[in-house]
Amino acid sequence: MSDAYFERTGAGRFRATEHTSGAWDTTAQHVAPALGLLVHAIEVDRDARRNDALLTARISADILGTMPLGEVDVSVEVLRPGRTIELVQATMSAGGRAAVTLRAWLLESRATGTIAASALPRIAGPEDVPAWDPTTVWPGGFIASVDVRRRQIEPGRASFWARTALPVVADEAVSPTARAAGLLDISNGMTVRVDPRRVAFPNVDLTAHLLRAPAGDWLGFDTTVSFGPQGLGVTSSVLHDATGPVGTSSQVLTVRPG
């Protein structure tokens, strides 16, 4: 058993380990660790090109297809270079086919601490929320690797905290933002509106906007899952660390009754 989600096997090549196996299909990857890897790849590329550590402000991923366990390739392209703002895209491919693309806006850091504030409501901290076992709902190596504490309000509505002891990439330092990105996609499954054995509701994208880099091991979610009448759905979350809100995320769902 590996002790990481990915192992680097080349300059732009990685092996997805058994810990990445998915919840909808355990023979394919869960997209959550992949997003952490793609953010890490963008930040590694950034730091190789410049020394001012632009901040990752938005993450926008599109899921183009399933990703196999095993060897994958990751490439990075600067779409919009700039002195204080960049748009950078990372792509995960397998067998020459793109499976996930992730675009990140990177912005210059500025001193705004004296005016920093948010009206987004806080949630109870992880120490005040009961432990919950997500493997009672979902299979797969990724779900089994995550520690979850949840306060369920009703089906499709909950606040919860998630953390993992596994690094995104074996033997590589990964930023707090990339580590948090590797948990973002868990939100769609942590407060199901309908039993997933009866109705499938996978997401086809994920977008997160960040106020700052999350700190600490725990990432908090204040999540609502909504289904529309024509096969569409949205999972929306306010993201937290132990000190308060850090941003928001949303996912578009394809809702498919069995």
DSSP letter string, 58-100: EEEEEE-S--BSEEEEEEEEEEE--SSEEEEEEEEEETTEEEE
**pLDDT tops 90 at residue 258:** no
Q: What per-residue confidence (pLDDT) applies to 142?
A: 98
Phi/psi of residue 172, nearest 5 degrees: -135, 140
pLDDT 10s digits, 6-33: 999 999 999 999 999 999 999 999 999 9
**pLDDT tops 70 at residue 224:** yes
Q: What per-residue confidence (pLDDT) applies to 2?
A: 82
pLDDT 10s digits, 66-107: 999 999 999 999 999 999 999 999 999 999 999 999 999 999
Q: What per-residue confidence (pLDDT) applies to 187?
A: 97
How many C-alpha atoms does 165 have within 13 Å on its Cβ side? Answer: 5
Phi/psi of residue 109, nearest 5 degrees: -75, 135
Determine the distance from the C-alpha atom of residue 257 to the mean position of all C-alpha atoms in its chain, rounded to a whole number: 25
**pLDDT tops 90 at residue 1:** no
Compute the distance between CA of residue 37 and CA of residue 43 in angstroms, rounded to an integer: 10
Domains of the chain from N-terminus onward = 6-108+125-257 (2.40.160.210)
**pLDDT tops 80 at residue 112:** yes
Determine the average pLDDT of the residues in 150-170. 98
pLDDT 10s digits, 165-215: 999 999 999 999 999 999 999 999 999 999 999 999 999 999 999 999 999
Q: What per-residue confidence (pLDDT) applies to 111?
A: 96
Determine the average pLDDT of the residues in 205-230. 97
